[in-house]
Amino acid sequence: MGRWTDMDSDAERLPDGFERIGYDADTQTYTFRDASGRVYESEPGNRYGELRATGERSQPISDEERLEQHEAIEKDNRSAVRMMLPFALLVLVFLFLVFKLVDKSEDTYVSACGKGNRQAYVSKGDTCWALAEAHGISVDDFLSLRGNEGVDCDKLRIGWGICVPTTG
């Protein structure tokens, strides 16, 4: 049972002496009677709210009232966005950190090459053997070049900078 179910009854929501006497499903209006016997109707779709005497026509909303309502909605939307912005920022920062920590690879490995060597970048399909063979050295010589000390041939990543001998 809800927390405020005692406030859902007509006695709690209607003015003193009013009682709900009917509902018209075609017009979606509720009908009420006051203590003196006068009959009132609600606005279509509203169970509680402004009541008007039966037979009276509801006044159409003026352009000024409509503009005020539109501005109030816009103001509420802006304040709702302003209220949610810090939360959204925290979520984005959290997601950024999660992705950074999960993908803790060194995608930008750049080596400081020694004299007589130059930096080359690993591309798709490169292996230590292919790189060493292309530069006319053995894999052991390739790994012993200054700057290639931390290279693990089983974990070469595209975009890594590695040292290769300068040719010609």
Among 41-45, 73-77, 106-110, 117-121, the least confident range: 106-110
Average pLDDT, the chain: 82
Which tokens belong to 141?
């010589």
Band (pLDDT 50/70/90 cuts) for residue 168 is very low
- DSSP classification of residue 9: S
For residue range 106-151, what is the model confidence (pLDDT) as tens digits? 555 556 787 888 888 888 888 888 888 888 899 888 888 888 887 8
Q: How far apart are CA 13 and CA 5, in angstroms?
A: 12
Band (pLDDT 50/70/90 cuts) for residue 96 is very high
- DSSP classification of residue 119: E
pLDDT for residue 166 is more than 60: yes
Which tokens belong to 2?
């809800």
